[in-house]
Every structure is written in C-alpha cells, then in structure tokens.
Amino acid sequence: MAKTIVEKIFSAKSGKDARAGDIVDAQIDVILTNDASGPLSIDYFEKMGGDRVIHPERVVAIIDHYVPCPNSKVARLHQKLFDFRDRYGITLVEAGHGIAHQVIDELKYIRAGTLIIGGDSHTTTHGYLDTVSVGVGASDLAFALITGALWFKIPETIRINLTGILRKGVSGKDVALYLLRILGADGANYRALEFHGDGVGCLSLDDRKTICNLAAESSAKCAIMPLDERALEYCNTQHIRVDDCVVPDEGCTYSRTIEIDLATVPLMISLPPRADLAVAIDEQLGTPIDMVVIGTCTNGRISDFEIVDEVIREIPGPFMVETLIVPGSLETYKHMVNRGIAGRLLEKGAMILPPGCGPCCGSSPGTPRDGFNVLSTANRNFVGRMGNVNSHIYLSSPAVAIASALTGHITDPWRGGHV
C-alpha cells in the first residue's frame, strides 16, 4: 500500500510496515532539549534509574529560555544540565548562542529522512528538511535518553498544496498564519502536515522553517516539506547528506487536502489571544502598538533581520515605541553587526537583547506593561504569554513589525504614506 512520508520514516525507524494509526517503537536520530524542559527530563531520567545515555552523540541541550541566567533558582537548573553533560557526555550549548531550534539547525543536526524529538513544542520546525520532527514531554524525552527509542502513534497526514508565487513583501510567516486560520487551533491534532506543489519552490528555506514552526499552533504532530530543487541545492552547499530523503508514494492516503494559491496570501496579523485568529493586515491597519519584539524561533534568523534592515532604510525617523530585537543566534547577531544592521537598529533606538528566546514566553526580560499592545514576530499570543496577563499580543512578520515600530501603529511596510 502507498505510504505518506511519516509512514515511510516511521517504517524505516521501527523496522515495521507502519501505517497511520499503528503504534510503533522507533529509533531516534536526534534528541533536542533546552533549559525549560531539560531539567525536568533529568529528574525523570533519575527516577527511571537511568545510568547512561545510550547515544550521547545524538543529544543536544541548549540553554536558550533563561538568558542570561536571571536568579539562583534558575542557576541551579542550569547547573543540572552542565552536570548531566559532564556525566553522560551529551553536547551542551551555553547561554548566548541562541535559540535551540536555530542553533541545532546551524550545527547541521537536521538531515532528510531522520526522526528528531525535542522537549519543546516547536520542534516541528525541523520538518523543513524532510524529517519527522516532533515535540515530546519530559518523561518521553528521558525514556529516549535511556533507550534511544520511543513509542509513537503514526499520524494521518493532511496534504497542503501550495501553488503560485508570493506577492512582494509577503513572507513565510504570512503563509503560516494564513494556513493556521484555515486549520484552526486543533485542526491538525494527531496529524502530520505534508507540503507539496510548485509554490514551495518560491519559499526560501527560512520561510519553510517558519511555516513548520507555526504548524505546532494547529496542534500538528509534525510538518514535513519534501526536498525540492532549492532544498537539495541548499543541502549540497551546506554539505548535508540527502541520501535518506523521502517522498510520498503515489496514491497514498491523506485525511484532507488544502489548496493555497500563494499569490492570494496577504500580509497577516494574528489577534490576541490566539495565533489562529489571523486576519489580513487591512483589517488592522492603524491599530496602536506600544511595543515591538522581533526574534524568537519563528522569525529571528539572518534573513529576517535583512528584511528588517530593508524596511528601516526606507522609512525615516526613530522607533516610536519600545523595540526589542532578539537575534535568534550568535551567528545571526554577528552577521547583524558585520553588515551594520545592528548599528542602524541602535541608531533608531532599538534595544538588542542577547541571542535566545528573549521575552517570547516571559522567561527572559522584556515584559510588557499593563494595557500594552505588543506586536511580536513570535508564534504564540495567548493571555499572559509574555509574562503579563494585562497585555495583548499581536503576531506578524518581521517586515510588518518593524514598520509598525517606526509608526506606532500596525503598518504595511510596502505601501507608501506610512508616517
């Protein structure tokens, strides 16, 4: 019988002829954790009597949520990760190097045909290179550390067909929010998303990461983009192996098919308090904004800050509101400095925070004040997400966020007369 990509990868990793609905025991290629979930996983590891990590070379812990360490309680949690590294030989990336999802990508752990788990719901990001990449809980992660494997219920797959090309200025973030509006907050629960169609070709690799990242907001188990020419070329230049890449079989079963003509996707804004409450920017132009945050695992990459730079060179004047810039990684930050982007942002009054999650979930500083409307490039905007239940979070692309920082209200950067 014809198989979808998840069915194929889980079959390969379990040694079984696996179908949607089956429960299999699958070998894990990469285990990712961070300082939010990692310490809890270590507790479970100990309760399970764990005395070794079976494949330490497959495990990466990255300190990204609490950066730099804010207090002694968190310092002890961080210490746990360091002790675990010393004892079991896993890789640990220290604070300041960036967000786990971005760093692990820069370190080239992501390779087609692999099964990746992470103690973080946005582990879905890594499906952009034809992998099954799934967020799991603390006990599951501990179990995988000990045994190298984990049980999975193989999901059904929703097929997303992308056609056409994006209009100028419209980004992967807008596509992600547009899709999220179609799917709804639990529209992909228990399901995998698989992306196809000519439209994929016009999406940069970074756009693809953003789309797979936001798949988590529709409760998808994973989001997969098979390698197309552009992805293959990227893998070649980055020396990433592609010999295990997977395509779905002709005639495999999809639980649903969604068609999106990229040419019809507008700039999008998600309204508080749910990411799937996404609307075209036209409905929100002029909404006053008190704070802007650019960064997070959704949109904190070099390409995001290059677009930001394009916009600030076009719209004169300083930022009208508190503008927090959080490079997704140290590499990104260095690039911003070397290209003069960081300097231009500072000139306009930005605050540049250390690479990491920043204020995304309130774990690091940058809490909005009561009554604030925040425009953020993150993926979540529920009540209290940034640490203050009396603030409202809107979500957008970096281009829209930075343009709005320059005007103080929701602004379309590509349409004149913004000031």
Partner 1 sequence: MFEYEGKAICFGDDINTDYIISSRRKKDTIDPYELVPYLMEDIRPNLVDLLVDQVLFVAGENFGCGSAMEVAAQIVKAAGIPIIIAKSFARSYFRNAINNGILAIQADTSHFREGDIVRVRMEDESVTIWNLSTEYVGHHVAPQGKIREILDAGGLIPYVATLNKEELHGNRREDQ
Site for partner 1 in 223-282 (CB under 8 A): 244
Find where tokens 């507790």 sit.
43
Three-class secondary structure of residue 220 per DSSP: coil
Q: Which is nearer to partner 1, 131 or 396 (CB)?
A: 131
State which of positions 106-145 bind ligand SF4 (CB under 6 A): 120, 122
Q: Could you give the 3-state DSSP secondary structure of residue 117?
A: strand
- Give the integer Cα–Cα distance in Å for 348 and 75: 34
Q: How far is CA 143 from CA 25, 101, 104, 107, 317, in A?
A: 12, 21, 21, 24, 54
Which CB, 98 or 413, lies closer to ligand SF4? 98
- Phi and psi dihedrals of 69, rounded to 5? -50, 125
Identified binder of ligand SF4 from the candidate list 144, 231, 268, 297, rule CB under 6 A: 297
**Residues from 3 through 32 that contact partner 1 (CB under 8 A):** 12, 15, 23-25, 27
Residue 151's DSSP bridge partners are 25
The answer to whether the beta carbons of residues 130 and 222 sit under 8 Å apart is no
Q: Minimal distance in Å, beta carbon 285 to ligand SF4?
A: 27
**Residue 359 site contact among ligand SF4, partner 1, none (CB < 5 to 8 Å, cut-off depends on kind):** none
Residues in contact with ligand SF4, counted by CB under 6 A, come to a total of 11
In whole angstroms, give the CA distance from residue 283 to residue 250: 41
Q: What is the CA radius of gyration of the chain?
A: 21
Q: Among 79, 189, 238, 390, which residue sits at the site for partner 1 (rule: CB under 8 A)? A: 189
Smallest separation (angstroms) from ligand SF4 to the CB of 106: 15
Per-residue tokens: 320: 């009208």
Q: Which is nearer to partner 1, 40 or 227 (CB)?
A: 40
Residues 279/271, Cβ–Cβ less than 8 Å: yes
Among positions 32, 160, 235, 378, the unique one binding ligand SF4 when judged by CB under 6 A: 378
Considering only residues 139 to 178 of the shown chain, the ones binding ligand SF4 according to CB under 6 A are: none
Phi, psi dihedral angles at 213 (to 5 degrees): -60, -50
Q: Which residues bind ligand SF4 (CB under 6 A)?
A: 65, 99, 120, 122, 296-297, 357, 360-361, 378-379
Q: Which residues bind partner 1 (CB under 8 A)?
A: 12, 15, 23-25, 27, 40, 44, 47-50, 52, 54, 121, 135-140, 143, 146-149, 151, 153, 186, 189-190, 219, 221, 244
